[in-house]
Amino acid sequence: MNIAMQIVNSIIKIQENIFPHGWEVTFDDVNLAEVHCIDRIGTIEYANVTKIANEMEMTRGAISKICKKLLSKRLVESYQRPDNNKEIYYRLTEGGQHVYNEHQKLHSQARQEKLSLINTYSEYEQSIILCFLNDINRLYNKTSAKEKNDKD
């Protein structure tokens, strides 16, 4: 992945982490965490609670709650594979696929807008910007982890 695209991904992560209300798009009463869970279910092969939790860096309990809400909203459905009756998997319904597609469009549009801006900088300037954004994300992740531990 080139530096410009890494910068775009860092900016998006900052926006989602620090300014989630600015990115929250409501699809028939679906919040941002639910949209991101739908996104993971749409991209992970044989999506289950553990895989989704790992991808979203959340607890399995939190993902279970989100999946229950998505099931009740009929945006996902659960199923079991014939070779594994123990594990529960999730896939998108037609409504969930609509939310997934709209979310992908929004991210694609945002990436293109930011990429146009970033490409006005030299590669050297982009490497400095990337370093700075990675530092911000590390700082945010440390702060989030500390806040989470303080609540426990």
Q: Give ∠ CA 95-96-99 in degrees, rounded to 5.
A: 95
Joined tokens for residue 17: 């982490």
Q: What is the Cα 88 distance to its own chain's centre?
A: 21
| pLDDT at residue 22 in the model | 45
Distance CA(41)–CA(47), nearest Å, equals 5
- Helix (H), strand (E), coil (C) string for 36-87: HHHHHHHHCCCECHHHHHHHHCCCHHHHHHHHHHHHHCCCEEEEEECCEEEE
List, for residues 77-104, the tens digit of each pLDDT value.
999 999 888 999 999 999 999 999 988 8
Predicted confidence band of residue 16 (pLDDT cuts 50, 70, 90): low
Average pLDDT score over the chain:
85
Residue 89: give the domain boundaries. Answer: 3-151
Into how many domains does the chain fold?
1
- CATH number of the domain where residue 17 is located: 1.10.10.10
Q: Which pLDDT score, from 0 to 100, does residue 10 have?
A: 80
pLDDT digits over 64-80, tens only? Answer: 999 999 999 999 999 99
- Dihedral pair phi/psi, residue 46, rounded to 5°: 55, 60
